[in-house]
Chains A and B, each alone.
Chain A
Amino acid sequence: MTNRKGGLSKVFDYFCNEDPFAEGLSPCPGCPLELALRLLGKILGSQDLVMTGTPSCSNPVMTGQNVGAWHRLTAYCTLMTGAAANATGLSRQYRRSGQDATVVCFNGDGCAADIGFQALSGAAERGENFIYVCYDNEGYMNTGVQRSGTTPIGAKTATTPVGPKQRGKSTRRKNLPLLMAMHRIPYAATATLSHLEDFAKKLLKAKEKKNEGLAYIHLFAPCPTGWGVPTHQAIEVCRNAVRTNYFPLWEAEKGIFTLTHQVKKPKPIMEYTRLIKKYNHLKEDELERIQEEVDYEYEFLRHLTEFRKCVATKHQTAGE
């Protein structure tokens, strides 16, 4: 596998395939979505890959213009409502006709958590054989930064502005990766772009696990433009999201949870929010509220990872 030279990071070993995308693509400077797409191609290779995408920030990259294309991958442009259903149709036909295919549904959080959630949940329940990657930038970025179901509490967006009567989003985010894991699909995981080896491993595991049913990866991908993050700090934001336990890295196989990256001394949420302008308005008590949210979600998750000891029955250890 490796033809890595000298002191190069071993992470390079995971990116052994050619970048299938054109060199100049449309995402804003510093956009982790662009990095995610290029790395996804390098990790999975284009041999049997079929990518699907919806109208979104990824669409001008995934979907061509007239007869021209931005990449050398096989691609299908879906609707937001039926993204997972389109992927179902493709993977079913490939399965039936005996063609090796890795169908990857690559969608934003608006599609995954909101308008396309029904189709995603249905595909999970039916055990469809594809990978669903949700790149979560916590809102509708392509339409100009509106709130979505994964926009966190307190965040300022174009539809949750800050004023005398509103202080950003007033409700908490939908924990979509947890919801997906609760379908007890073969594989559900979180990943982000500061932890590339973790991301690559999970993607490869998803490729393997998708033969048993739906594999879901929730990829935390900040939007520098929409969040008010200097372009050079996009990866740092990812890292601090992990270090503060705002976005813990974990995986769940058929409902058995494991933390893939333990944060020994989690930093206060301020270390994360201070990098992002969408939180600029927050006062101390509001930050405390966010910290409580983070603590609750992390504790919940930690309990789930311990839960495995209670259910290590014959059925579960045998992989059901």
Chain B
Amino acid sequence: MIKKFQFREEAGWSHADEILLCLDTGSWRVERPVLNKEKCNYCGLCALFCPTQCMVDRDDHFEPNLAFCKGCGICANECPRKAFRMRKEGDA
């Protein structure tokens, strides 16, 4: 008895509308970006350069979506006003 097929086609077709794969990349993080809102002038460079494009627009500042932020620190490094600071996960 042959098991039920996963693929509806004969060959290897994937369908994003059926299964959109996603990794829990937030769990990779060892440091998180913390914003000092007073320094932020809402230029958006942090969001532009963020490799995971996980910055959420909060109208007057951007906030990383920590579910997917890998903690690379590019936002902190690229911010012209140094508004982000990387803080070790687990530290207060």
**Chain A residues within 8 Å of B, Cβ to Cβ:** 5-9, 11-12, 15, 19, 22-32, 34-35, 38-39, 42, 63-73, 75, 193, 196, 224, 230-236
Contact = CB atoms under 8 A, between A and B. Distances in A.
A75 B14 CA distance: 9
13 contacts: A8-B42, A22-B20, A24-B67, A25-B23, A64-B21, A65-B14, A65-B21, A69-B16, A71-B16, A72-B17, A196-B48, A224-B72, A235-B77
A8 to B, nearest CB: 4
B86 A232 contact: yes
A8 B44 contact: yes
Contacts of B45: 9
Contacts of A68: 14-16, 18-21
A8 B46 CA distance: 11
Contact of A24 (B14, B22, B57): B22
B14 A66 contact: yes
Majority DSSP secondary structure for residues of A touching B: loop
Interface residues of B, number: 47
Contacts of B14: 63-69, 75
Most chain A C-beta atoms within 10 Å of own C-beta, residue among B12, B70, B72 = B72
Given A15-B48, A67-B6, 14 more contacts: A5-B42, A6-B60, A9-B43, A12-B44, A19-B53, A30-B72, A38-B51, A63-B14, A66-B14, A67-B7, A70-B20, A73-B16, A232-B74, A232-B86
Contacts of B53: 19, 35, 38-39, 42
B91 interface: no
A23 B42 contact: no
Contacts of B54: 23
Contacts of B77: 232-233, 235-236
Interface in B4-31: 6-8, 12-26, 28-29
Contacts of A29: 28-29, 51, 70-72
A-B CB proximity, top 4 nearest = A64-B14, A232-B73, A30-B72, A68-B19
B76 interface: yes
B68 to A, nearest CB: 4
A70 B20 CA distance: 6
Given A29-B71, A35-B53, A67 B13 contact: yes
B43 A34 contact: no
B79 to A, nearest CB: 11
Contact of B51 (A9, A27, A69): A27
Interface in B36-70: 41-45, 48-54, 57, 59-60, 65, 67-68, 70
Contact of A6 (B28, B42, B52): B42
Nearest to A66: B6
Contacts of A193: 49
A31 B43 CA distance: 22
A9 B86 contact: no
Given A67-B7, A72-B17, A35 B50 contact: yes
Contact of B59 (A5, A31, A234): A5
Contacts of B48: 9, 11-12, 15, 196
A224 B42 CA distance: 27
Nearest to A4: B44
A70 B22 CA distance: 7
A234 B23 CA distance: 22
Contact of B70 (A5, A22, A30, A196): A30
A7 B29 CA distance: 30
Contacts of A11: 48
